[in-house]
Chains A and B, each alone.
Chain A
Amino acid sequence: QVQLQESGPGLVKPSETLSLSCTVSGGSITSDYWSWIRQTPGSGLEWIGYLSYTGRTNYHPSLKSRVTISADTSKNQFSLNLNSVTAADTAVYYCVRLTIVGAISAFDYWGQGTLVTVSS
């Protein structure tokens, strides 16, 4: 059973960088795709991007200029960095496994989520 656990600060100041890590157990980040998804009360769920097992990344167009997703294979972790944050980036952030088989895809394992608030 794959399990994911987010970690990182719950409070970030405006204009600074939001940094979260996700520790994966029961699976390896050297296979599959590993995503970040966030949820805000007003805007629902938003896919942020993924890191593939080959190390390739793919980001949502609206966030592409501010996002980096990277991996630490020695720790079986992947991380999210979102810079120049504003209050609009306040959300619950989930790390999620994305399974892709041809045209079929699904976010099949989710972390519990971590609330990040952007405020001074």
Chain B
Amino acid sequence: SSDLTQDPAVSVALGQTVRITCQGDSLRSYYATWYQQKPGRAPLLVIYDKNNRPSGIPDRFSGSNSGNTASLTITGAQAEDEADYYCSCRDNNANHWLFGGGTKLTVL
């Protein structure tokens, strides 16, 4: 399959924990990467490989993978985490890359 599926929108109360999920057959073969995008800005890599964060990404962001589902968890969500989040991975049938449709996170 060449699809990655995300919930369109998720909300979380300030300081609480939220999980954003991504489903797709290719996730059985490759780990997801996660990108944060704020309005008018380019996407920013926040999680790659099993659960690695680039320099400068707060440790409240974490990733996990199980079967055909990948998850991005924000533990203690902050107001500045309000953004769109996209998952991505390599297609397991071809040497190209897929993106999910994105999840809009609202911090209440």
Taking Cβ atoms with an 8 Å cutoff, the residues of A that contact B are: 35, 44-47, 49, 58-61, 94, 98, 103-108, 110-113
Contact = CB atoms under 8 A, between A and B. Distances in A.
Decide if the interface of chain B is mainly helix, strand, loop or mixed: loop
B43 A45 contact: yes
A106 B48 contact: yes
Contact of A105 (B43, B90, B100, B102): B90
Contacts of A58: 95-96
18 contacts: A44-B100, A44-B101, A45-B35, A45-B86, A46-B99, A58-B95, A98-B97, A105-B48, A105-B90, A105-B97, A106-B45, A107-B33, A107-B43, A107-B45, A108-B45, A110-B42, A111-B42, A112-B41
B43 to A, nearest CB: 6
Interface in B58-108: 86, 88, 90, 94-102
B86 A104 contact: no
A47 B96 contact: yes
A104 B94 contact: no
Decide if the interface of chain A is mainly helix, strand, loop or mixed: strand
B45 A104 contact: no
Contacts of B30: 103, 105
A40 B86 CA distance: 14
A49 B94 CA distance: 12
B99 A45 contact: yes
B44 interface: yes
A18 B12 CA distance: 41
Contacts of B95: 58
A104 B99 contact: no
A45 B102 contact: yes
B99 A44 contact: yes
